[in-house]
Amino acid sequence: MSIEVKVPTLGESVSEATVGQWLKKPGEAVALDEPIVSLETDKVAVEVPSPVAGVLGQILVAEGETVTVGALLGTVEDGVAAAGNVPVAPREEKPVPPASDTVAPAAAPAPAAAAAPAPTGDDAGAAALSPAVRRAVLEHGIDPSTVKGTGKDGRLTKEDVLAAAQAKAASPAPAATAAVPATVAAPGRNEERVKMTRLRQTIAKRLKSAQENAALLTTFNDVDMSAVMAAREKYKDVFEKKHGVKLGFMSFFAKASCLALKDIPAVNAQIQGDEIVYHDYVDISVAVSAPNGLVVPVVRDADKLSFAGIEKAIGDFGKKAREGALTMEDMKGGTFTISNGGVFGGLMSTPIINPPQSAVLGLHRIEDRPVVRNGEIVIRPMMYIALSYDHRIIDGREAVTALKTIKEAIEDPTRLLIDL
């Protein structure tokens, strides 16, 4: 009996997705709840599990096509044990002459034929690849058998695939000349066109929308990191031994931000229609770099968490982002954002708010600079910090005061303990 596979509910305010990759071929055995297709939404990648045990039947939507919630993706033949014994797609024989990896996107006329997985999926080792790695392999056209894995037991990681893709782009690839008609091009002036992922398209739309709809302004300050660095150096070993997580700078800035947001509620508020919504809780969106772009999972009730709780939450989000395992629930909500461009060496920036939030704190690299203390020039580890805010709801005085509160709490961490 054929069981329909449909697009599941994707989360709040998400109504459509793009078919990223079919993880199984027609006729292949699937277990109950085993992922058979991945979907790319505006926020995260979602894997659709098999509703029953059996074999994959028809594939009705090709990779790269847009689907809405409830749309029919394909079928699973319930109770069929033998793979390849399904009266599904006699056209499976058609793709036998595999012209090249570049043919897959062009084979879209018939849904069943177009849905054939990328050629790399034929490798025996492909079954061992995680869904995140499969997506990276498909997106960059990398043959996994040619890449040495650095993960556990020699498994391939997404970073391995991205490194291989960079190496491939840096060297003259014969596939590029095969995909282009026989025209003579000047050496060293090749071009590559890659379709934007749904996540990247959404990032572009949201950032542009923030600039167009909000009255953005940025205020700056600098922070002497001496006290925080000394505290971290003194307690990092004991902290890690007790809590099983490293003590980083982000927990200090998160707690300092909570202090400032409680003092200046407008920085933690949002505009909804002609109303201002104030929150008595602090859900901090932490900007995390993922292979497909910047994502902002939410540390909920950060004002109630300990330093260890914040560090654990941020560490878990970073790992899930690298593995492509973030969920809709991880991304939902958020009242304030912290973005740390310092990990990439950034000295100063003007971060853009994450709508509908009204403010974002930008952190930057720490460097020794001469400053005046008690009438003397001394060298201190300094960091520029920036607060971008929506001037429609936050006045300049409030923004400057909030940033100054964060600065003072970092320069004197005792304030974090006595709520000052």
**Cα gap 132→161, rounded to integer Å:** 10
Residue 131 gets the label, from left (phi > 0), alpha (psi -120 to 50) or beta, of: alpha
Q: Read off the tokens for 313.
A: 């939450």
Quote the distance between the C-alpha of residue 81 and its chain's center.
Answer: 37
Let me know if 391 is a catalytic residue. Answer: yes
**335, HSE (Cβ side, Cα atoms, 13 Å):** 23
**Cα gap 68→70, rounded to integer Å:** 6
Per the DSSP assignment, residues forming a β-bridge with 220 are 386
Q: Read off the tokens for 229.
A: 């660095």
**Cα gap 398→396, rounded to integer Å:** 5
DSSP 420: -
- The answer to whether the CB of 53 falls within 8 A of the CB of 74 is no
**151, HSE (Cβ side, Cα atoms, 13 Å):** 14
- Terminal CA-CA length for the chain: 67
For the beta carbon of residue 179, count every other beta carbon within 10 angstroms.
15
- Which residues contact residue 264 at a Cβ distance below 8 angstroms, ignoring those fewer than 6 apart? 398, 401, 402, 405
Identify the active-site residue in 237, 391, 412, 419: 391
Identify the active-site residue in 33, 122, 301, 395: 395
Query: What does 254-284 look like in DSSP terms, one character per residue?
Result: HHHHHHHHHHSGGGG-EEETTEEE--SS--E
**Cα gap 115→120, rounded to integer Å:** 14
Token pair 């572009």 is found at 204
C-alpha dihedral, 339 to 135 to 195 to 101, nearest 10°: 150
Q: Among residues 334, 292, 293, which one has the least CA distance to residue 313? A: 334
**Cα gap 302→298, rounded to integer Å:** 9
Backbone angles phi, psi at 179, to 5 degrees: -80, -15
- The answer to whether the CB of 39 falls within 8 A of the CB of 46 is yes
Check the CA dihedral 244-245-246-247 and report its sign: negative
Q: What positions carry a catalytic annotation?
A: 391, 395
